[in-house]
Amino acid sequence: QKEVEQDPGPLSVPEGAIVSLNCTYSNSAFQYFMWYRQYSRKGPELLMYTYSSGNKEDGRFTAQVDKSSKYISLFIRDSQPSDSATYLCATLGSGGFKTIFGAGTRLFVKA
Amino acid sequence: NAGVTQTPKFQVLKTGQSMTLQCAQDMNHEYMSWYRQDPGMGLRLIHYSVGAGITDQGEVPNGYNVSRSTTEDFPLRLLSAAPSQTSVYFCASSYIGRGREKLFFGSGTQLSVL
């Protein structure tokens, strides 16, 4: 079993839609949860991170962690064509500094 | 504002050839790492380092060597290239303590092994 599972998609939505991206993880000891965004032919960039459970909001983006079900979510409100990218969920693994990534979900937002 | 610099951006090798992918960072990060990215498999950790002289294996280390003689540089060596090593390679760095949740990535190296 992979430590972080993520559906690779692709996911295609119309402009303005609410997007929900999800991951599950296997180890209940994980505490840091991150979302990276990767545009085509670029390196990933950190979008948001949360520590332990709860929600974190940044503009149109909300990250949510449910530790009871080992579920990580990213919500994008009022999606824009510029949001078209691959979104990778991640967590800090054993030792607290190795980042473990999900497969990434490719998102297309159509104008 | 250089951040993490990777060279080369593209490389084509023949099976059995060796080469070194270069990575340098100017943020004084203790932690440096190499990932490979393949379709549908996300980023997989090859090797990592928590400081000069200290390296360790990640998830997929076979066929690769690393060394860390300085804080700034972390080269990745392919010993005898195989077609299975065709991939996009990313170098990434971060702090170890506060701020370790944020990895800074280079722009990647597209490697093809024929």
Residue of chain A whose alpha carbon sits nearest to that of B58: A98
Cβ contacts from A onto B, under 8 A:
59
**Secondary structure string (H, E, C) spanning chain B:** CCCEEEECCEEEECCCCCEEEEEEECCCCCEEEEEEEECCCEEEEEEEEEECCEEEECCCCCCEEECCCCCCECCEEECCCCHHHCEEEEEEEECCCCCCCCCEECCCEEEEEC
Which residue does chain A place closest to B33, by CA atoms?
A98
Q: pLDDT tens-digit profile of A64-84?
A: 999 999 999 999 999 999 999
Q: CA separation (Å) from B107 to A43, A77, B22, B23? A: 5, 28, 12, 10
Minimal Cβ distance to B31: which of A4, A97, A101 = A97
Under the banding of pLDDT at 50, 70 and 90, the label for residue A9 is: confident
Instruction: Tell me whether residues A103 and B41 touch, CB distance under 8 A.
Output: yes
Average of pLDDT values for A10-24? 97
Asked whether residue A94 carries a pLDDT value surpassing 80, the answer given is no
Using CA of residue B2, residue B5, residue B11, residue B17, what is the dihedral sign? positive
Q: How far apart are CA B102 and CA A100, in angstroms?
A: 12
Q: B23-72: per-residue pLDDT in tens?
A: 999 999 999 999 999 988 889 999 999 999 999 999 999 999 999 999 99
Task: pLDDT band for A23, please (50, 70, 90 cuts).
Answer: very high
Between B10 and A2, whose confidence is greater?
B10
Q: Pick from B65, B67, B3: which is nearest to B29 by CA?
A: B3
pLDDT beyond 90 at B83: yes
